[in-house]
Amino acid sequence: MKNLSVSLASLAVATPPYAIGQTEAEVFLRNHYSKILEPKNQKKMLKIFTHPSVLRRHLAVKDLECLVNEDPDSRIARFTHWAVELSSQAILNAIEEAGLTKDDITGLVVNTCTSYICPGISTYLLEKLGLSDKIRTYDLVGSGCGGSIPNLQVCSDMVKRNRNEVIVSVSVEICSATFQMADDLSLIVSNAIFADGASACVLWNRPGKLKLVASASRCDPKHREDIRYIYRNGQLHNQLSLQLAKFASKTVTRVVMDLLTSRGLKHKDIKHWAIHPGGEKVINAVRDELKISETKLQATRNILARYGNMSSPTVLFVLREILQNGIASEDWCVMVAFGAGLSAHAFLLKA
């Protein structure tokens, strides 16, 4: 049977109510952890937190004090509660935006990397939202900040196989559930940029906001140790290389070229770029490698400033901002995300 076209019917996001500015976050860390930091890293921490690229973030906590000496059982309970809560908010908003009801949903795919529960988040969402227990559900883990695009690839394939499918794609991360602090620049940077949030998309075989035209992925395992979560004493710790911007931008460029050449397109044909805001240095490196103008990065920088890096949902926050600003009919858009692995993923979209 001929493959069916797939469109993005709707896109919604959700963040927890607690928001912090960078000054408040830096003071919290200094008050609780200055004794374990070398003077040079205390100076670096202040410089990082006062950089204007990130201004505000949302965290799934009642207050910052709950992060101090949070035991593993409390942490997984907090992750579970907020992952389900934020995902539910995003799903309900996406369904309403698409003009659907819960009974119209035939499939649900959820990705996360900031904790692990079994059964997965999808089962909690079925229960909380009253979705049919007959719909197909999938839980994806381990893709890091790039996870939303493999999720969309799975959802797109589901729609292509059956014209009646209406699939919900959910990306949710509670990065604060991986909070750690030590005299380690990776952790200092992580605590300055990461935040919590969720996104939900409805995909179907009808006209929508954007057509999902093609996708591409690359994985470069030689950089696995440069961007990943590792376990120490049974808990996740973020590990980031100081050279991340350099090699991530090169992998991103390769996957974008794979995507464009497969459709006979060039950079100049792309009017809109939804690029994952992995941090100021990474954004700059991707811009320079791809040779795209600064004006096309405004949505990426806006989301980083207002929300920080929420891992996998973040690129969909960027895409939503682009949609809100307006895309003309027939415009091309490339969505790019990258993360643990090192992996990079791209989707070609058309209005």
Residue 321: in which H helix or E strand, if any? helix 314-325
| Segments making up each domain of the chain, as ranges | 7-204, 210-350
Tell me the β-bridge partners of 335. 274, 347
Give the tens place of pLDDT for each residue, 238-273: 777 777 777 788 899 999 999 999 999 999 999 999
Give the tens place of pLDDT for each residue, 171-210: 999 999 999 999 999 899 999 999 999 999 999 999 999 9
**First-to-last C-alpha distance (Å) of the chain:** 25
Domains 7-204 and 210-350 share a fold: yes
- Dihedral, 162, 163, 166, 169 alpha carbons, nearest 10: 60
Geometric angle at alpha carbon 19, from 189 and 142, rounded to 5°: 50
What pLDDT is recorded for position 342? 84
Residues sharing a CB contact under 8 Å with residue 181, sequence separation 6 or more, in sequence order: 29, 32, 33, 36, 187, 188, 191
210-350 maps to which CATH number?
Answer: 3.40.47.10
Is the separation of the CB atoms in 173 and 113 below 8 Å? yes
What pLDDT is recorded for position 225? 66
Residues of the chain with pLDDT under 50: 1
3-state secondary structure of 263: coil
Class of domain 7-204: alpha beta
- Dihedral, 118, 119, 122, 123 alpha carbons, nearest 10: -150
Give the tens place of pLDDT for each residue, 120-147: 999 999 999 999 999 999 999 988 999 9
